[in-house]
Amino acid sequence: MQALTSKARPVERKPLSVWEKLYIPAIAKGMSITFGHIFRKKPTINYPEVQRPFSPVFRGLHVLNRDEEGRERCTACGLCAVACPAEAITMEAAERLSGEEHLYREEKYAAKYEINMLRCIFCGLCEEACPKDAIYLSETFAPSNYTRKGFIYGKEELLIPDPKTQPVEFAKARGEKTEKN
Amino acid sequence: MAEEKKPLKVTIDNITIEVEQGTTILNAARRIGGDVAPPAMCYYSKLKNSGGKCRTCLVEVEAGSTVDPRPMPKLVASCRTNVMDGMIVKNITSEKVIDARNGVVEFLLINHPLDCPICDQAGECDLQNLSYDHGKEGTRYEFNRRTFEKYDLGPFIQLHMTRCIMCFRCVYTADQLTEKRVHGILDRGDHVEIATYIQKSLDHDFIGNVIDVCPVGALTDKTFRFKNRVWFLNPVDAHRDCPKCKGKATLWYRGDEVFRVTARKDQWGEVEDWICNECRFETKKTSDWIIEGPTKIDRHSVIAQGHYVGVQKPQEVLYDVLGGRKPKLLMNIHNVSEVNEPGRDLSKIEGPAHSTDFENE
């Protein structure tokens, strides 16, 4: 039969030598490799007590950003939704009323904003498309859930905490280390 | 006078075409079509005397005519220059024209705000398309941009003077479609603005057409304001028996809701038939219209996104696999999602939606 590749080697079927028949040296050699691993550095970590740092380009769960004054940056322009290859993003826009200027940065804002995390492929195109720096992929995972209902993320889940009223939560959401830790 | 009817030969970008006497270079180029046709922000073939304001249609005339083959010394506005026999015109093949057009776009964008994320015209905006083709990334303008307060011209039309590029199209529309125009150009130079002088409302049956002729988002449909982005809507051609107009319009659907009604536009972005205010603003139910079929959208337009052609819905196999039993864990997205809820019809809200419209859930 013709060999499938040029790398194929015929198996040697020579009878075992006396040294090989003893088996003990082979066992000792194998055990030395096994016990040698005890003294090596462990490649695993005790998650979740210990956590590895994320790569700076890691694309995790989305956050809807606020500006320095705590106003929502999103203006519901729909560019993230049109850029989304998985069609995971939907939104509904509303006009800012007078008296709501401290809540929303522009005269139009996203009254409803939803990302279907079951559809999302975390490609980061929404982040690239956003003209208002409003959506970011943070360095966290989307938490697991028992039901599919829990993966439809609305504004409550996505919006970053207000930097003025909740500075600690805001820093945590941004992935910054606070001074206490 | 038989010789006056003789067709004229004109060469535009090395393509020769015969046109009637009195045709402008722009219309001759549009007869050829494609990229040869210069862009136009102010010229509107359906409006008499329009054109000559925006200078985006500038072309280079290499030879005036066979009788006098000298080139024209400067670039000429093609919408206002008639062709002569044996004229040789360069549009996209001329570097001078491209350079001048880039400059014109820079001028048009000096005072135009870049609020496309908010503007309802985004996606079908002539200036947006033009600046994508000819604009620069940065601006060299260091002064404050001219701003105006936005205000309502009647119950249906909103004027954002800040976005206006002074094309005069809406003024000609009001002049030529209505008996008495109540808005116009005030002041001059840098202070020039479209206004009604004392804030009057525009209330003529055909005044809604100013929204369609506006090349930018200066005049927008208030009933559609902030409702949705145009590229998420599905345009459908429809007609109805209208005593005032021909009743041929485009309905913009999202699901089963008609979000807005516009006139049909041809390949140059110009209205085919003017429609009346009743068709445009007051008949936003499918039952009012006879649907003809989906509007043909150029596939390079962002509005064509998400229009999957020839999609066949796969056969539902779940029931066969489960032996006729209904699946226990089928999720209806409307039970979870707060967007596009069945009970809340944005198209039925008169103006833009506000936080109050989303409150009582």
Q: Is residue A132 part of a domain?
A: yes
Task: Count the domains in chain B.
Answer: 3
Q: Between A and B, how many CB-CB pairs are < 8 A?
A: 85
The residue type of B246 is K
For A154, the closest of B116, B306, B338 (CB atoms) is B338
Minimum distance, in Å, between the CA of residue A25 and any CA atom of chain B:
58
Count of domains for chain A: 1
Q: Measured between alpha carbons, how far is A71 from B20 in angstroms, rounded to an integer? A: 60
pLDDT at res. B201 = 78
- pLDDT (tens digit, 0 to 9) for every residue of chain A, 181 residues total? 777 888 888 888 999 889 888 999 999 999 999 999 999 998 899 988 988 888 888 999 999 999 989 999 999 999 999 999 999 999 999 999 989 999 999 999 999 999 999 999 999 999 999 999 999 998 888 888 888 889 999 999 999 998 888 888 888 777 665 444 4
Report residue A17 as tokens.
């030598």
The DSSP symbol for A144 reads P
Is residue A84 domain-resident?
Answer: yes
Task: Choose from B226, B344, B349 for mutation: most chain A CBs within 10 A.
Answer: B226
Task: Please give the model's pTM, rounded to 2 decimal places.
Answer: 0.84
What tens digit of pLDDT does each residue of A74-106 get?
Answer: 999 999 999 999 999 999 999 999 899 999 999
Q: Are B153 and B147 in contact (CB under 8 A)?
A: no
Q: Which residues 105-124 of chain A have a CB within 8 Å of chain B?
A: 106-108, 111-114, 116
The answer to the question of residue A53 being in a domain is no
Q: Is B176 on the interface with A (CB under 8 A)?
A: no
Alpha-helical runs (H) found in chain A: 18-21, 24-36, 79-83, 125-129, 155-158, 167-173
Looking at the fold, whether B15 and B83 belong to one and the same domain comes out as yes
Give Cα separations from B232 to A82, B240, B293, B333 (angstroms): 8, 24, 17, 18
Q: Residue B116 and residue A77: Cβ atoms within 8 Å? A: yes
Separation between Cα atoms, residue A128 and residue B8, nearest integer Å = 51
Q: Are residues B14 and B78 in the same domain?
A: yes
Closest residue, chain B, to A151 (C-alpha): B336
Q: Does residue A46 form part of some domain?
A: no
Which residues span the domain enclosing B297? Answer: 230-304
CATH number, domain at B174?
A: 3.30.70.20
Of B172, B189, B222, which residue constitutes the final position of a domain? B222
CA closest to A90 among chain B residues? B339
ipTM: 0.84
Check CB contact under 8 Å for B118 and A108.
Answer: yes
- Predicted local confidence at residue B180, as pLDDT: 83
At residue B3, the pLDDT reads 54
The distance of Cα B241 from the centroid of its chain, to the nearest Å, equals 25
Low-confidence ranges of chain B (pLDDT < 70): 1-4, 360-361
Phi/psi at B132 (5° precision): -65, -35
Q: Does B336 contact A75 at a Cβ distance shorter than 8 Å?
A: no
Residues of A in Cβ contact (< 8 Å) with B332: none
Distance from CA of B56 to the nearest CA of A (A): 27
Structural domain of residue A128, as residue ranges? Answer: 62-173
d(CA A86, CA B66): 59
N-to-C CA span, chain B: 75
CB within 8 Å: A111 and B229: no
Q: Which CATH number covers residue A89?
A: 3.30.70.3270
Tell me if B120 is assigned to some domain.
no
Distance from CA of B81 to the nearest CA of A (A): 40
* Chosen domain end from B278, B304, B330: B304
Question: In this predicted structure, what is the pLDDT of residue B90?
Answer: 94
Please give the residue of chain B at the shortest CA–CA distance from A103: B355
**Pair (B176, B211) in one structural domain:** yes
Q: What is the pLDDT of residue B357?
A: 87
B311 part of contact set with chain A, CB < 8 Å: no
Owner of token pair 């005030």: B186
Pick from B40, B42, B270, B272: which is nearest to B170 by CA? B42
Token pair for B355: 């936080």
Question: Which chain B residues have a beta carbon less than 8 Å from that of A94?
Answer: 226, 352-355, 357-358
Is some CB atom of chain A closer than 8 A to the CB atom of B354? yes
Distance from CA of B358 to the nearest CA of A (A): 7
CATH number at residue B83: 3.10.20.740
Can you tell me which residue has the tokens 């057409």?
B209
Residue B338 to chain A, least CA–CA distance (Å): 7
- Give the Å distances, CA to CA, from B102 to B57, B58, B99, B135, B137: 11, 11, 5, 6, 11
A21 CA: distance to closest CA in chain B (Å): 58
Of B304, B326, B353, the residue that ends a domain is B304
Which of B276, B277, B295 lies closest to B238 in space, CA to CA? B295
Residues of A within 8 A of B229 (CB-CB) are 77-78, 82
Distance CA A177, CA B6 (A): 81
Partners of A91 in the β-ladder: A113
Query: How far is residue B168 CA from its own chain's centroid?
Result: 15
What values do phi and psi take at A133, rounded to 5?
Answer: 55, 35
Any idea of the CA torsion for A33, A39, A43, A44, to the nearest 10 degrees?
Answer: 110
Task: Say if CB A62 and CB A137 are below 8 A apart.
Answer: yes
Nearest residue, CB atoms, A107 vs list B118, B305, B358 = B118
